């Protein structure tokens, strides 16, 4: 199974993002725009990044009552986005409503269910009243997402192999928490893996931010990760 690279454009301003995106044009296909940049610059920034030739993954992690999430999906559907996230913890009714809105307004948009944030581990889940281990909670929410009609999940790379065994073969698995083998620190991610290991486990896409954004040559860093994926 092939695995592709998504850049997490986690920078504070469009001015900081601009030279990075210019250097990366032609080197990678996907860019993830998160809540910070979307809140700061709105839909026009999504159009700007897409206009540079990138496929956009809009990572807003929608989580609200079913009707509100469905209306949000409807509002976002005209944007040039290829992926959009929502929290599976919102429940089956919410996910089914989002799926119905997506099918009606943008059939090509891939809705991704976020299971357990990669910044959380079992201890963090316990703090909010979830007594299950992180892997068990991911399995439960992943199955709920699949049963609700979602065809993509965001999960830790450490749970990919498990999900591959339990979910339909066509489920797209997008994994943050990726650090190249040369990176010693994992920053705020608690459940991490190298690109090659994530690809071998069955990730469809890996999401990488700081190792590319902070590199002296972002294009070279992206090419190195893509080469690691190709050799996995």
Residues annotated as part of the active site: 61
Half-sphere exposure in the Cβ direction for 87 (13 Å, CA): 12
Q: Which residues 6+ apart lie within 8 Å of 152 measured at CB? A: 83, 110, 111, 112, 113, 171, 172, 173, 174, 204
Q: Which residues 6+ apart lie within 8 Å of 43 measured at CB? A: 76, 79
Degrees, nearest 5: CA angle 152-156-160: 65
């Amino acid at each position: 199974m092939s695995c592709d690279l998504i850049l997490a454009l986690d920078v504070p301003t469009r001015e900081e993002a601009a030279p990075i995106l210019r250097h990366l044009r032609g080197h990678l296909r996907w860019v993830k725009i998160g809540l910070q940049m979307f809140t700061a610059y709105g839909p026009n920034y999504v159009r700007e990044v897409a206009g540079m030739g990138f496929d956009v993954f809009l990572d807003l992690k929608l989580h609200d009552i079913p009707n509100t999430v469905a209306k949000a999906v409807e509002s976002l559907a005209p944007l040039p986005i290829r992926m959009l996230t929502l929290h599976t913890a919102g429940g089956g009714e919410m996910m089914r409503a989002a799926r119905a809105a997506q099918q009606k307004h943008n059939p090509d948009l891939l809705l991704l269910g976020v299971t357990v944030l990669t910044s959380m581990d079992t201890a963090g889940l316990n703090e909010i009243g979830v007594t299950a281990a992180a892997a068990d909670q991911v399995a439960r929410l992943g199955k709920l997402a699949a049963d609700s009609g979602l065809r993509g999940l965001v999960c830790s790379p450490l749970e990919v192999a498990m999900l591959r065994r339990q979910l339909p073969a066509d489920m797209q698995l997008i994994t943050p928490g990726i650090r190249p083998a040369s990176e010693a620190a994992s920053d705020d991610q608690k459940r991490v893996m190298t690109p090659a290991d994530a690809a071998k486990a069955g990730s469809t896409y890996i999401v990488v931010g700081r190792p590319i954004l902070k590199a002296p040559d972002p294009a070279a860093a992206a090419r190195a990760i893509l080469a690691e994926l190709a050799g996995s």
